[in-house]
Structure 1
Amino acid sequence: VHLFLLSLLWLDDVENVDTALKAAHDLNQKIACSHPLTALPDEADSSALLQAMEELIQHFELPTYYQTLLKQLKEALLNPQLTLSGQLLPYIHQDSLMAFGLEKAEEYHRYAWTAPYALKGYENMELSTQMLLFDAIQKGLNVEILDENDQFLKLWHGHHVEYVKNGNMTSKDNYVIPLAMANKTVTKKILAAADFPVPAGSEFSSLEEGLAYYPLIKNRQIVVKPKSTNFGLGISIFQEPASLEAYRKALEIAFSEDAAVLVEEFIAGTEYRFFVLDGQCEAVLLRVAANVVGDGQHTVRELVAIKNDNPLRGRDHRSPLEIIELGDIELLMLDQQGYGPDDILPAGVKVDLRRNSNISTGGDSIDVTDSMHPSYKELAADMAKAMGAWACGVDLIIPDSSAISTKENPNCTCIELNFNPSMYMHTYCAEGPGQSITPKILAKLFPEMD
């Protein structure tokens, strides 16, 4: 259609416009009412239009895609069976396309429900951004996608313009705050200076430095992780003392993700993600590490494949849950539990494939917003304030969530603050009611619309 419209601009103006329009209308009626396979009449000369398209393509050096379009158009002009009406002809029954229409409607209905969480037409974008787009459209905001690959949006109402990246990065956060949260060492130092509990540990910039540290931690529970990566990439957790070989492998995995690595004490307890927006905790998620449960018949590899069949699981943060992988970290975890990927897992036996519970590495999400004690929500909000973060995820390890958290005895440890906390996992949970986050972000950005 674009090429057709441009070709009309390319052509010379029509003389005797009224007469030409009347003749064109009559010709259009004649062709439209004829049988779909009837050849075009002689007066329907398309040569000038085709030549204009050809000259346009050559003049502007358009991609070969346009040459292919023109080739298909020429073929359809010679063979009416290739036109849209010609292609629909076999589906007409008793002068009606009703059966064909119903079949297509059912097909599109099935397609819509294969991923009801997705905004159709925008599935290539990260799911949190899709959700924000949907809510912005529902709210009546003007929307422009500035960069689809970078998840960069422009939203505006009247003269009020807001730019949003990744669904939650906005003008409300100053530039340095996401950079600080991306650096786990900086995050720990800021929180520790504000008297919040963080794990002890050391930072290394080479494999040799990290290996030299082994005598100090060989009898301890530890976590090995990249300094500045997100989504749980490259993290290895040892709840039992690691062998030198396993420790080396963990360091190699972490260094493959970043130029610096942290080795920290392992904090026992349950990990929760708190989503904080503008000084208030809006959602709490229990994240269960990637795992499978045996049935006595299938191997670990087969159980992973079965679990990955869940329609909620996908890749690259385009689905509420991520596909479970069997990579180096997962195989290392299996080995520590005495299993290999092709071993049949006994019925009822659960094996963890990750120690870190990130949804982005195959974990399961459970909404516990209503059951979490308010003291922990307040603590998470205070940590975000200490960082100066407007929107972020706060990851807390809590040994006993029934115990109240106080300033003197917080009863938890903060292992990370996340500047890109994947809001979708709070909304579309594996278990629990879920919490709508993106409408609250839009309400904060455009208060004049409420």
Structure 2
Amino acid sequence: MTEVAPPHAGWRRPAGLSSLPGLGKLHRLPDARDILRRRQFEPLRAAFHDRLWREAAAAVGATHSHHSQGLHRIARGRLVTFTRGSDLMLDNAITLTLVTDKQECYRVFAARGLPVPPHRAFDKSDLTSAETFLRESAGPVVVKPNLGTGGGRGVTTGITTRAALRKAIRRAARFGPDLLIEAQIPGASFRLYYLDGRLIDAVRRDPPELTGDGRRSIRQLVAAENHNRLTSTPPTALSPLVVDADMRNWLTRSGLGPSSVPSAGARIIVKAVVNENASPQNHSVRAEVHPDIVDRLGRLVTDMGVRAAGVDLIAPDIARPLDAGDIFVSEINANPGLHHHVLVADPANAVPVARLALDHIFETRTGVMLL
């Protein structure tokens, strides 16, 4: 895999990545191994965000310190704001909850004339409705939880058979009974980051990719990739690559499986869900976004009252207007992950999203406490 220049000079890997307390109890939970893998990345995520906010605070002439409950306290003069991970003090709890309702968001998008993927909401017990949607679809479909999740959790793509559909429903239903099935739209995945309706950055997020060596299986390459993610300085990703139904479905369509051994130098896309990719697959494309997309999505997030918003698009490219016919608005996220914009293939040209967020907060005097 291509080496990437450090997005944060002087970054050091945090201690304790291999020993986390309380993991023994997880064997009683579904997907225990996946939970364990994600838990292993918690110190890495904490160290990344610590560095991110300390550097951003210094860049805007503010001070940074740690507060209780994992908060970062950032002060400039009498103005103080707090962050946690990528979360800012801009959106309220109700807004954060509402935007996790994917079906409701689709209704809002469609009411504004924005293109959305063909979809259907259904209850986990309503297999007939989901099977009818699959049968009537021209290509593969996606099943996901409708409420309260993000980061690709519970999502299965590439579903073409009734058996695969039922497995995907069982997986998604672990997060709740309300589910969504939708057509799998061809195209690249784009994330647009807005602050109070102003576009700050856009990234194209390509699917996770591995390079074969002619000796190791895809499963072994995944394990090596996860070890690299945990030990690289600076980090290339903040979450593990997981062998799950989404990966198996994708590989099956390519005539492969987790036990397949790719030839030396072969570059293999291993799953469709982009949330588990790494920095070589993230590309800043702010300059390519069509003005129609910038304007209409800016008005969308403003009218929905989402102040720190990440809007996801599926499109062949992002240099055409929204009504081009093959561009779809797939999701809106409040307090979206900033790491997608920092851990990119060309970090020297990355947009400093954390610094711009703090500038915005202090200049508008919103999302702050006056002390």
TM class, shorter-length: 0.7 to 0.9
> Structure 2 residue aligned with 1:250, among 156, 164, 168?
168
The aligned residue for residue 297 of structure 1 is 215
> Structure 2 residue aligned with 1:205, among 123, 129, 136?
123
Q: Is the 8 A contact 2:288 2:318 kept in 1?
A: no
In 2: Cα distance, 1:272 partner to 1:313 partner:
28
Q: Is the 8 A contact 1:325 1:362 kept in 2?
A: no
Any idea what the Cα deviations from partners look like across 1:380-427, whole Å, max 9, x if unmatched? 32332232211111100113434x205x54751111111132112212
Q: Is the 8 A contact 2:118 2:183 kept in 1?
A: yes
The aligned residue for residue 365 of structure 1 is 282
The aligned residue for residue 354 of structure 1 is 271
- SS of residue paired to 1:232: coil
The aligned residue for residue 316 of structure 2 is 399
* Cα-Cα RMSD: 3.2
The aligned residue for residue 427 of structure 1 is 342
The reply to whether residue 214 of structure 1 matches residue 131 of structure 2 is yes
The aligned residue for residue 237 of structure 1 is 157
Task: Give the letter aligned to residue 362 of structure 2.
Answer: F
Task: Give the letter aligned to residue 372 of structure 1.
Answer: V
- SS of residue paired to 1:218: helix
Change in 2 beyond 3 A, CA 1:312/1:385: farther
Change in 2 beyond 3 A, CA 1:187/1:165: farther
The aligned residue for residue 26 of structure 2 is none
Change in 2 beyond 3 A, CA 1:379/1:356: farther
> Structure 1 residue aligned with 2:190, among 234, 252, 272?
272
The aligned residue for residue 44 of structure 1 is none
The aligned residue for residue 413 of structure 1 is 328
CA positional deviation for 1:379: 3.4
Task: Give the letter aligned to residue 176 of structure 1.
Answer: I
Change in 2 beyond 3 A, CA 1:411/1:379: farther
Q: Is the 8 A contact 1:277 1:392 kept in 2?
A: yes
Q: Is the 8 A contact 1:269 1:397 kept in 2?
A: yes
Q: Is the 8 A contact 2:53 2:72 kept in 1?
A: no
CA positional deviation for 1:230: 0.8
In 2: Cα distance, 1:289 partner to 1:243 partner:
23
Task: Give the letter aligned to residue 141 of structure 2.
Answer: I
Count of equivalent residues = 323
Mapping 1:8-407, distance limit 5 Å = 112-115=10-13, 125=46, 127-128=48-49, 130-148=51-69, 151-170=70-89, 172-206=90-124, 208-220=125-137, 221-228=140-147, 229-238=149-158, 242-310=160-228, 320-347=237-264, 349-359=266-276, 364-402=281-319, 404-405=320-321
Q: Normalising by structure 1, what TM-score?
A: 0.63
Q: Is the 8 A contact 1:211 1:248 kept in 2?
A: no
CA positional deviation for 1:219: 4.9
CA positional deviation for 1:203: 1.6
Q: Is the 8 A contact 1:190 1:386 kept in 2?
A: no
Give structure 1 stretches of 5+ with no counterpart. Answer: 1-110, 117-121
The aligned residue for residue 362 of structure 2 is 446
- SS of residue paired to 1:446: helix
Q: Is the 8 A contact 2:123 2:179 kept in 1?
A: yes
In 1: Cα distance, 2:252 partner to 2:364 partner:
56
Task: Give the letter aligned to residue 414 of structure 1.
Answer: V
CA positional deviation for 1:299: 1.6
CA positional deviation for 1:272: 0.7
In 2: Cα distance, 1:336 partner to 1:174 partner:
42
Change in 2 beyond 3 A, CA 1:392/1:126: farther
Q: Normalising by structure 2, what TM-score?
A: 0.75
Work out which of the two has the higher radius of gyration on C-alpha atoms and give 1 or 2: 1
CA positional deviation for 1:440: 0.9
Change in 2 beyond 3 A, CA 1:410/1:393: farther
- SS of residue paired to 1:392: strand
Any idea what the Cα deviations from partners look like across 1:319-346, whole Å, max 9, x if unmatched? 6453322234323432343222222124
Task: Give the letter aligned to residue 233 of structure 1.
Answer: R
Any idea what the Cα deviations from partners look like across 1:156-214, whole Å, max 9, x if unmatched? 334333343433421x33432221212212211222222212223222232x3135430
Give structure 2 stretches of 5+ with no counterpart. Answer: 1-8, 15-42, 366-371
